[in-house]
């Protein structure tokens, strides 16, 4: 059975946590598509290298231990605006989504570009301030600087020419600003079960 759950949203909204929990709950495979861009960004120093890195990306590249840093996130956002990088990673993601047994993919353009026919689309969001505070708790440093970086990344992700971050027309909105992790996961699971019914 093919059943795809597309989960999109901005940085630190909780989509990764929700996606992993949803995948575990339903027994689906999970792909954090942001890791693809982080892995490409971590392998390059300029745009021309990024295209080759994207075309040659392997599952092993996703196991690097430095992919969750702020630096890797910024590098990911920079290579993600390169149309050739995005094109190279689309096939990787679509093959993953089509596997038997169900799949959950989380990212920025899953419901709008990668899997527009996904059975369920969720858009997980939260205020920039809440997301920056969550990221600051993870990485430390100057909280005001983290907020500035979150807003800068949002601007880049939402205003890029190719596959900008936005909810799909038929996505269910899950605002996690005032939700606990358990409440956010429960809302996502309920939305998926409603679509399955």
* 47 annotated ligand-binding residue: no
Per the annotation, does 43 bind a ligand?
no
138 vs 132: CA distance, rounded Å = 10
Give pTM, 2 decimals. 0.85
Number of structural domains (the chain) is 1
For 151, residues 6+ apart whose C-beta sits below 8 A from its C-beta are 128, 132
- CA-based nearest residue to 131, from 70, 172, 78: 70
Residue pLDDT, tens place only, 133-148 = 999 998 899 999 999 9
DSSP H helical ranges for the chain: 15-26, 33-43, 47-55, 70-79, 83-97, 128-139, 143-159, 181-196
**Is 73 labeled as ligand-binding?**
no
Residues in the chain: 197
* pLDDT value at residue 47: 63
- Which residue do the tokens 């992919």 mark? 67
> Is 194 annotated as contributing to ligand binding?
no
Was 14 annotated as part of a binding site? yes
Return the C-alpha torsion angle 141, 142, 145, 150, nearest 10: 60
User: What are the strands of the beta sheet with 103-107, ordered from one edge?
Assistant: 29-32, 103-107, 4-8, 120-125, 172-175
Q: Are strands 103-107 and 29-32 parallel, antiparallel or unpaired?
A: parallel
42 is an annotated ligand-binding site residue: no
102 among annotated binding-site residues: no
Could you report the average pLDDT of every consecutive run of 10 residues in the chain (197 residues)?
93 94 96 92 81 90 89 88 90 91 94 96 97 92 94 90 90 96 96 92
Segments forming the whole domain that contains residue 92: 4-196
The CATH number of residue 60's host domain is 3.40.50.300
Say if residue 52 carries a ligand binding annotation: no
* DSSP three-state, residue 104: strand
* Residue 20 among known ligand-binding residues: no
Using an 8 Å Cβ cutoff, are 102 and 27 in contact?
yes
Q: What is the pLDDT of residue 98?
A: 93
* CA separation, residue 50 to residues 22, 53, 157 (Å): 31, 5, 17
């Amino acid at each position: 059975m093919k059943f795809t759950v597309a989960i999109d949203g901005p940085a630190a909204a909780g989509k990764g946590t929700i996606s992993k929990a949803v995948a575990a709950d339903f027994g689906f495979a999970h792909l954090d598509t942001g890791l693809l861009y982080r892995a490409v960004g971590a392998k390059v120093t300029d745009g021309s290298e990024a295209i080759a890195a994207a075309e040659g990306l392997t599952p092993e590249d996703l196991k690097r231990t430095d992919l969750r840093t702020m630096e890797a996130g910024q590098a990911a956002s920079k290579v993600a605006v390169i149309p050739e990088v995005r094109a190279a990673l689309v096939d990787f993601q679509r093959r993953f989504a089509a596997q038997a047994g169900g799949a959950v993919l989380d990212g920025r353009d899953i419901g709008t570009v990668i899997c527009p026919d996904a059975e369920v689309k969720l858009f997980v969001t939260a205020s920039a301030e809440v997301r920056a505070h969550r990221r600051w708790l993870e990485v430390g440093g100057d909280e005001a600087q983290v907020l500035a970086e979150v807003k800068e990344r949002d601007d880049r992700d939402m205003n890029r020419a190719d596959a900008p971050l936005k909810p799909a027309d038929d996505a269910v909105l899950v605002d996690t600003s005032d939700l606990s992790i358990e409440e956010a996961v429960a809302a996502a699971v309920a939305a998926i079960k409603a679509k399955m019914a």
